[in-house]
Amino acid sequence: MREKLCTCVFCDGGCALRVADEDGQLRARPADPGFPALCSKAHLIDEYRLHPDRITHPLRRVGERGSGRWERVSWEVALDEIAVKLRQVIDTWGPEALAVSEMPLNHGFGGITRRLMNGLGSPNYITALQLCMGNTAQVHRAVYGGFTLANWDVADCVVYFGQDRSPEKWPAEHLRLRAALGRGAKLVVVDPRETDTARLADFHLRIRYGTDAALVLAWIHVIIAEGLFDERFVEEQCEGFAVLADRVRPWTPERAADVCGVDAALIRETARVYASARAAVIPWGATADMQVNSTALIQAQCILRAICGFVGVSETLPALAHGGVTNSELAAFELISPGQRAKQLGADAHPLLTFAASARYAGVRERLGVPYEPDLMAMSCAADAASVFRAMCTGDPYPVRAFISAANNTVMSYANQQGIVEALLAQELVVVFEHWMTPTAQLADYVLPGDMWAERDVLGKPFDVAPVLTASSALRVPAGECRSWYFVVSELARRLGAGALFPWRDERELYDWRLAPLGLTFAELEERGSCPNGTLPARGGFATPTGKVELASSVLRDLGFDPLPNYAEPRDLGAEAAEAAAPASESAAAAGDRAADDAFADEAAAAAPEVGQRAGRLYPYVIFAGLREAANYNTNLRQMPSLRAREPEPCALVNPADVAREGLAAGAWCAVETAHGRVELMVRPDEAQPAGTLRVPHGWWKPERAPGLAGGLSAANLHGDGLLFPDDAWNVDAAQGLPNLRGGIRARILPLG
Ligand SMILES: Nc1nc2c(c(=O)[nH]1)N[C@H]1C(S)=C(S)[C@@H](COP(=O)(O)OP(=O)(O)OC[C@H]3O[C@@H](n4cnc5c(=O)[nH]c(N)nc54)[C@H](O)[C@@H]3O)O[C@H]1N2
Ligand SMILES: Nc1nc2c(c(=O)[nH]1)N[C@H]1C(S)=C(S)[C@@H](COP(=O)(O)OP(=O)(O)OC[C@H]3O[C@@H](n4cnc5c(=O)[nH]c(N)nc54)[C@H](O)[C@@H]3O)O[C@H]1N2
Ligand code: SF4
Ligand SMILES: [Mo]
């Protein structure tokens, strides 16, 4: 095999690699020697491919769903039977009774799943990407008409909300951050934890979990009050400045200091640092995505960039792609009828990511001559996940009876894991496209074996906003009978009478068709590695309904929401109800225990005075899910021996003062309980974790444990962070419908014998 260029997707870092086969060993190097972004996981291609647990042929369930027993079937049999059942469901309940959750980054194909669903008439598409960047893109769109990206090459001030980058966690951005700091850029980190990244910061604001929106409102207050904004940009390009100024007037640094637990003088100083930078950036980060105030926070960040004049300077607003066929064009949204769009689940209550919001941009498309319906970051036309799971369980407002999970461990990648399990159990058909017998696959009727990134050719980044197209070449043949998602979708389409939607014999033919407008073939792109994509001509103005940067969003207003950002205190109604209902004696006993510990609590508070959290008596700790681990990726990679040795058990990070106060011990097992659920974790004392708060890890299940419901879905029912967080209306961002996993929810921690 000669050296090939490819893109690693062992995580969503998407590092560009140059891989050679040296005596049977694959050797991965950074594609650009001058930019050594790659982590240790990139070298595990064969360990992953040839892992004995990998599913390498189609499986059909034997016995009850979730019993953990399977038989091998041929692709023909599996696809025939799935198509027959899908046809039955669609004919009985309508196409909207089919829901899909997928992660296109993982299987390498954007657009094709939507193309089939649009052709069949189902609007009920969800993805875990909704919780991660996809929703950010929709808020950016409401403010600017597009999704801004930090321009690291010019940045002289970086503001991070919780991002913790390292050589093993998004190395490319870590390198860019290091380079910016090397040039003298200032770093402001807003994070309750003292992370490695926070240690590099000029200013570390140890904010109370879930209160970031209040901080940004105060920054805007200072910037307007002190006249630090870009008057010309505001005057010429923005609309809504007067109402914005009214909104932030009460948000003095003193008020935000009370809410956020950050010193008012520090809030003032950092506002000035940001506004007086030449080229400040607020790079995208997942922390803003999973809060009850997510829309308000992201909107306030967008406003900050705009009024300080950074849009188009350090914050790039890419034009929509048009040339090589984008995912949105491939998805062919014109195929789904208005009547079927209107049935999209959750769009009435939580419209921002749905067809209902997309419709608000029809006039913009006409004005700017956009020839297709942009599905910005694949997230402008999605259903509300919690509403889909509810309809799967209850049939309300109508039945959803068939579910496909494609390259997504659905059970573990939203809130309310218990509800998702119930939703899958209530289906007539569950199909999972996977590498492993994940907790989700354990609840399937058919598990279909997918190829992995080093076994397929991928035409990369044909997003609507991607300025480049990349080719990633297969390094090995697929293990066993593993096949691509294109094979599965096109074969199902053929069996469902929608074969005309997929006239391409295989993915390479599809890529040639997508590249034809650029006069390129996929083979030619493979030689080059990448090429620029075409873009729509700039016609002036922003792609918002008013053509301006909308500081007060007309889209949010028309959808029935506050057009301006505001801050609402995150609540835990479950914990509050439990505390109100607890017998006085129990509360008194709990209070008594704690009174005895008051000296200790004071000490802990003194150790981290700026991060005091507001918590109740039964559930005294504020929790957040996250702080990614170097040795795994979301719910994946825990079956890889070399990685598991580095991170063998799921750990709660607990401040040492709290470890002592709760009678816990390092390395001992504890239970973390919220009013919604319970998990078991190993105690890891951690000075960096503020007193009164707990970090619970994301995505832990144990592939070595017994599969099936009786075995607790390989310990997913023991460790999954989604067990702790409800998806009830009070714990989601109202406009987006997405759950809060970042503060607000409270927990208690108990030693386990
Ligand atoms: N090795 C490895 N790398 C990964 C991943 C992985 O699983 N493994 N996952 C990738 C993915 S999908 C993502 S999205 C990124 C996520 O990476 P990050 O954006 O770094 O997010 P997390 O690691 O979840 O959490 C980071 C910080 O957010 C802080 N935080 C929590 N709640 C709040 C809050 O309310 N406000 C503020 N200001 N801070 C808060 C936490 O204290 C924590 O320090 O990492 C990516 N990189
Ligand atoms: N409860 C909770 N939910 C969350 C988060 C959280 O912190 N807590 N984080 C959110 C975030 S930031 C993100 S990015 C998303 C992540 O959502 P996803 O990226 O969907 O991540 P996983 O849930 O780990 O599911 C990925 C699954 O795809 C499989 N897979 C990987 N590569 C391939 C492939 O090439 N082909 C096939 N067929 N399968 C493949 C893996 O085996 C794994 O089971 O989850 C979000 N959801
Ligand atoms: S950070 Fe590591 S695992 Fe993620 S894409 Fe880059 S090399 Fe692959
Ligand atoms: Mo993510």
- The ligand 2 site (C-beta within 6 Å) comprises 103, 106-107, 128, 131-132, 286, 407-409, 412-415, 433-436, 438, 450, 452-453, 625-626, 634-636, 698-699, 721-722, 741
Contact 97, 402 (CB under 8 A): yes
State the average pLDDT over residues 132-161: 96
Distance CA(505)–CA(499), nearest Å, equals: 11
pLDDT of amino acid 604: 41
Q: How far is 442 from 707, CA to CA, in rounded Å?
A: 7
This model's pTM is above 0.85: yes
Rounded CA separation 421/411 (Å): 6
Tell me what the mean pLDDT of segment 6-30 comes to: 93
Residue 100's DSSP bridge partners are 125, 404
Q: List pLDDT tens digits, range 166-207.
A: 999 999 999 999 999 999 999 999 999 999 999 999 999 999
User: Which domains can be identified in the chain, with CATH numbers?
Assistant: 59-127+320-532 (3.40.50.740), 148-316 (3.40.228.10), 573-751 (2.40.40.20)
Q: How far is the CA of 20 from the centre of ligand 4 (A)?
A: 29
Residue 607 has pLDDT above 70, yes or no: no
Amino acid in the structure at residue 572: D
Alpha-carbon distance 503 to 730, whole Å? 46
- Residue 450 CB–ligand 3 contact under 6 Å: no
pLDDT band at 615 (very low <50, low <70, confident <90, very high): low
State which of 103, 411, 489 you would mutate to test the pocket of ligand 2, scoring each by most atoms of that ligand within 8 A of its C-beta. 103
Answer whether 401's CB lies under 8 Å from 428's CB. Answer: yes
Q: Percent of the chain, pLDDT > 70?
A: 96
Predicted confidence band at 284 (pLDDT cuts at 50, 70, 90)? Answer: very high
DSSP 453: G
Ligand at shortest distance from the CA of 197:
1
Q: Which amino acid is at 447?
A: V
The pLDDT of residue 600: 38
pLDDT tens-digit profile of 290-300?
999 999 999 99
**What would the mean pLDDT of 92-107 be, rounded to a whole number?**
97
DSSP β-bridge partners for residue 550:
239
Regarding the beta carbon of 570 and ligand 1, being less than 6 Å apart is answered no
pLDDT recorded at residue 602 = 43
pLDDT at site 589: 53
Cβ of 193 less than 6 Å from ligand 1? yes
pLDDT digits (tens, 9 = 90+) for 686-701: 999 999 999 999 999 9
pLDDT at 609 over 60: no
Q: Is the Cβ atom of 13 under 6 angstroms away from ligand 3?
A: yes
Residue 192 CA, closest ligand 1 atom number: 42
The SS3 of residue 500 is helix
pLDDT digits (tens, 9 = 90+) for 210-239: 999 999 999 999 999 999 999 999 999 999
State yes or no: pLDDT of 78 exceeds 60: yes
10 Å Cβ neighbour count for 580?
10
Q: How far is CA 486 from the centre of its chain?
A: 23
Give 723's pLDDT tier (boundaries 50, 70, 90).
very high
State residue 584's pLDDT score.
64
Per the DSSP assignment, residues forming a β-bridge with 483 are 450
The pLDDT assigned to 463 comes to 87
Q: Six-digit token pair at 272?
A: 């000035």
| 739 alpha carbon – ligand 2 mean position (Å) | 16
pLDDT value of residue 611: 40
Nearest-atom number in ligand 1 for the CA of 197 is 44
Average pLDDT over residues 133-143: 96
Q: Ligand 2 centroid to 355 CA: how many Å?
A: 24
Cβ(11) – ligand 1 distance below 6 Å: yes
Question: For ligand 1, is residue 284 a contact (CB within 6 Å)?
Answer: no
How far is 222 from 216, CA to CA, in rounded Å? 10
State whether residue 746 is helix, strand or coil: strand
Look at residue 728 in the predicted model and tell me its pLDDT: 96
Ligand nearest to the CA of 210: 1
C-alpha 196 to ligand 4 mean position (Å): 19
Average pLDDT across the chain, whole number: 94
Q: Which residues are catalytic?
A: 12
pLDDT band at 606 (very low <50, low <70, confident <90, very high): very low
**Tens digit of pLDDT for each residue in 491-517?**
999 999 999 999 999 999 999 999 999
* Bridge partner residues of 36 (DSSP): none
Distances (CA, A) of 140 to 287, 456, 542: 16, 33, 11
Confidence of residue 538 (pLDDT cuts 50, 70, 90): confident
Residue 108 CA to ligand 3 center (angstroms) comes to 15
Q: Among 538, 636, 110, 70, which Cα is nearest to 320's?
A: 538
The pair phi, psi for residue 12, each rounded to 5°, is -85, 15
Write the pLDDT tens digit of every residue in 541-577. 899 999 999 999 999 999 999 999 999 999 999 999 9
pLDDT band at 537 (very low <50, low <70, confident <90, very high): confident
The arithmetic mean of pLDDT across residues 726-745, rounded, is 95
Instruction: Read off the pLDDT band of 743 (50, 70, 90).
Output: confident
**Res 269 pLDDT > 80:** yes
pLDDT over 90 percentage in the chain: 91
| Residues in CB range of 345: below 8 A, 6 or more apart | 96, 99, 123, 124, 383, 384, 387, 388, 391, 397, 400
